[in-house]
Amino acid sequence: MRFSLIIFVLLVLSACSTKETRLQQFLLKGNLALKEGNYDKASYYFGEAIKVDGCYADAWNNLGTVQFKQKQYAQAQEHYQKAMECRPGFINALMNHANTSYELKEYYKTLDDLDKVLAVKPDTALAHFTQGLTYTKLREFNKALLAFDRARNIEPNNVDILVNHATVQFYLKKFDSARIELKQAALIKPDEPNIYNTLALIEIEQANYTEAMRLVEEALRLSPRQPYYLNNRGFIYLSQNQLDKAEADINESISLDPYNAWAYRNKGILSLIKKDYKYAERLLKQALDTDPFVDKIYFYLGMAYLNNGNSGLACVSFKKSEDLGDRMVTDEQIRQCNKK
Domain ranges of the chain: 19-111
Listed residue (96, 103, 150) closest to 123, CA to CA: 150
Mean pLDDT over 268-279 rounds to 98
Residue 127 near residue 115, CB atoms below 8 Å: no
pLDDT bin (cut points 50, 70, 90) of residue 206 is very high
Residue 246 near residue 270, CB atoms below 8 Å: yes
- pTM for the whole structure: 0.87
pLDDT bin (cut points 50, 70, 90) of residue 3 is very low
Distance in angstroms (rounded) separating the CA atoms of residues 154 and 311: 52
Residue 104 near residue 126, CB atoms below 8 Å: no
Please, where are the H alpha helices in 193-339? 193-205, 209-222, 227-239, 243-256, 261-273, 277-290, 297-307, 311-323, 331-338
Listed residue (176, 165, 115) closest to 141, CA to CA: 165
Q: Kindly tell me if the per-residue pLDDT of 5 is higher than 60.
A: no
Mean pLDDT over 51-67 rounds to 92
Percent of the chain with pLDDT over 90: 83
pLDDT bin (cut points 50, 70, 90) of residue 340 is low
Burial group, residue 178, by CB count within 10 angstroms (0-12, 13-18, 19+): buried
Mean pLDDT over 108-125 rounds to 96
Listed residue (238, 174, 248) closest to 212, CA to CA: 238
What residues contact 245, with CB distance under 8 A and at least 6 apart? 234, 237
Give the CATH number of domain 19-111: 1.25.40.10
Distance in angstroms (rounded) separating the CA atoms of residues 138 and 110: 11
Q: Indicate the range of 4-8, 114-118, 213-217, 252-256 predicted with least confidence.
A: 4-8
